[in-house]
Amino acid sequence: MVFSLKKNNITITHIDNPVINGDLEQNNEYLNKTKEGIINLINILNFIEYDNNLINDITILRFYYKVRKAEKIINFSFVFFKPLVVSLLTKGYISLYLFDYYKLGIFIENLRITQHTLKDAGQ
């Protein structure tokens, strides 16, 4: 919805409205929700046919398009290190760089699955 508003030149004003979350979720639940969100992002990206405005608005997409020439290397390293990364994040090792690496790896992993599925459907 925000993307549609922005595309139609409608200004969005964000307010500082902190949310108190007394019932924090477990780390593994958060990682699963992150994965779901990334898969949804890939579905949206496919639905709107890789709109450049959306790509420029979302950090992970901008970063992916900067490093996509190294996609195979990133995917290989992610497959190799994924169990360690998930273990560290699940146990509470907090590193935004590690979390960003996890999100990029999940993005590439699922983008490849989606592209493979799309290719199979087109045949």
pTM of the model: 0.77
Burial class (CB in 10 A: 0-12, 13-18, 19+), 89: buried
Q: How far apart are CA 23 and CA 29, in angstroms?
A: 13
Would you state the pLDDT for residue 45?
A: 86
- Read off the pLDDT of residues 105-115 as tens digits, 9 standing for 90 and up: 999 999 988 77
User: If phi over 0 gives left and psi between -120 and 50 gives alpha, with beta otherwise, what is residue 14?
Assistant: beta
- Read off the pLDDT of residues 52-70 as tens digits, 9 standing for 90 and up: 887 888 899 999 999 989 9
